[in-house]
Chain A
Amino acid sequence: MKTAGVAARRSTAYDPDMTETLSVQVWRGSERGAFVAYSVPRRASQTVLDVVTHIQRRIDASLSYRFACRVGMCGSCAMTVNGRPRWTCRTHVDRVAKNGDLTIAPLRNLPVIKDLAVDMREFFDKWARAKGQFQPTASRRDGFAVVRPDSAARKQADAGIECIGCGVCHAACDVVAWNRDYLGPAALNRAWTLFSDTRDGGQATRLAAVAGDAGCHACHSHQSCQEHCPKHLNPTASIAGLKRAAAWAALKGQI
């Protein structure tokens, strides 16, 4: 009976088809480098971040990567996993490496600092260029702003507000790859949430900042950002909203 109990527990913890080890290729170097092969023990409920952490702590301490919260909140651990940009802390190995093969590379469209760590400055500089800062219209002496949760503007902002700034959409976007000046889906999504914020007073300058060939009008609506966003946001829809708003503003001579 005791043996059967152990077997039953194992059957719930381990997939019988699961390989014992993972064959992992990890990018080592900066812009120039190569993939290095590692063998990592496979475990139940293992995430891709667990795999990278195992390599760094047990096999090669010189491996550089970035993470913080490990629970899908901070947006630090995004990498390219088997060719797709993903948040690694919430990506289970079972879902992406059924045959036991993993290829882990840094995010596309951003300069590689070392190994799996990319330089995010360009990404967040674009948020600043898109006027992604809240521009208050009230002071601390004013009362609380009343924003109805069921108002159209608030719903519009809510649709894009949960962005964690992981850079997955930026890496997935072909337009970013083709046009390095393009602000990208995350910065434009941020601009749209602020544009939809009735408390914000920076709409005219924000629309001017996000309009044109380097802004929302460069988007081809491929929807890679929506396809890959780990938070299931739709930056393409946010960008479409900005396109319409900026087009009307241009026709009225406001930008």
Chain B
Amino acid sequence: MTPRGQVLLWVAQRGSAAVLGLCVIVHLATIIVAVQGGLTGAEILARVRGSGAWLAFYSLFVAAVAVHGPIGIRTILHEMTALRRGVVDGLAVATAGLILALGFRAAWGLYGAA
């Protein structure tokens, strides 16, 4: 990867961290408000099923995690293991793909179209 590519990964990780900061605040606030009347699966589904707004929110959340986490994993693997650069980059991309697949599957499932 070129130095420019490496710098852009750094920018992407900082940018996704900013998005995650907002998403986590909304997520935690929702949890705190939602559990006031007890926590049931039915209540959660009543809130998010068919809601385009919640689907958009959690899609953004998943996308930000899929960008942020694997870039950090790439750094950790590079610093803590003897794996070659190409292998480390491949594992980071695979992690991003896994997070995207599982995350969107969960968000789409709650939306009710699964």
Q: Which of B7, B79, B80 contacts A211 (CB 8 A)?
A: B7
Query: Is there contact, CB below 8 Å, between A211 and B11?
Result: no
Contact with A along B1-43 (1 / 0, CB 8 A): 1111011101100000000000000000000000000000000
Chain B residue, CB-CB nearest to A210: B3
Contact with A along B38-58 (1 / 0, CB 8 A): 000000000000000000000
Contact with B along A222-255 (1 / 0, CB 8 A): 0000000000000000000001001101110101
Chain A nearest CB from B4 CB (Å) reads 5
Query: Is there contact, CB below 8 Å, between B3 and A255?
Result: yes
Query: Is there contact, CB below 8 Å, between B79 and A175?
Result: yes
Contact with A along B49-84 (1 / 0, CB 8 A): 000000000000000000000000001001110000
A208 to B4 CA separation, bound complex (whole angstroms):
8
Query: Is there contact, CB below 8 Å, between B80 and A212?
Result: no
Query: Is there contact, CB below 8 Å, between B10 and A247?
Result: yes
Extra contacts, 8 of them, besides A179-B79, A211-B7, A217-B6 (Cβ < 8 A), are: A212-B3, A212-B4, A213-B6, A217-B7, A247-B7, A247-B10, A250-B11, A255-B7
Residues of B with C-beta under 8 A to A243: 10
Residues of A with C-beta under 8 A to B75: 213, 218
Query: Is there contact, CB below 8 Å, between A211 and B3?
Result: yes
Residues of B with C-beta under 8 A to A165: none
Query: Is there contact, CB below 8 Å, between A250 and B4?
Result: yes
Residues of A with C-beta under 8 A to B78: 179, 213
Residues of A with C-beta under 8 A to B80: 178
Interface residue? A215 (CB, 8 A): yes
Query: Is there contact, CB below 8 Å, between B11 and A251?
Result: yes
Chain A residue, CB-CB nearest to B80: A178
Residues of A with C-beta under 8 A to B11: 247, 250-251
**How many of chain A's residues have a CB under 8 angstroms from any CB in B?**
18
Query: Is there contact, CB below 8 Å, between A250 and B8?
Result: yes
Residues of B with C-beta under 8 A to A253: 4
Residues of A with C-beta under 8 A to B2: 212
Chain A nearest CB from B2 CB (Å) reads 8
Give 16 A-B contacts (CB < 8 Å), ordered by A residue: A175-B79, A179-B78, A211-B3, A211-B4, A212-B2, A212-B7, A213-B3, A213-B6, A213-B75, A215-B3, A217-B6, A247-B11, A250-B4, A251-B8, A255-B4, A255-B7
Residues of A with C-beta under 8 A to B10: 217, 243, 247
A209 to B95 CA separation, bound complex (whole angstroms):
29
Chain A nearest CB from B72 CB (Å) reads 11
Q: Which of B70-104 contact A (CB under 8 A)?
A: 75, 78-80
Residues of B with C-beta under 8 A to A249: 7
Chain B residue, CB-CB nearest to A175: B79
Residues of B with C-beta under 8 A to A208: 3
Residues of A with C-beta under 8 A to B8: 250-251
Which 9 pairs, one residue from A and one from B, show the smallest C-beta to C-beta distance? A212-B6, A212-B3, A178-B79, A250-B7, A217-B10, A211-B3, A213-B6, A211-B7, A250-B4
Residues of B with C-beta under 8 A to A175: 79
Residues of B with C-beta under 8 A to A250: 4, 7-8, 11
A213 to B74 CA separation, bound complex (whole angstroms):
11
Chain B residue, CB-CB nearest to A218: B75
Chain A nearest CB from B49 CB (Å) reads 40
A102 to B11 CA separation, bound complex (whole angstroms):
45
A246 to B3 CA separation, bound complex (whole angstroms):
10
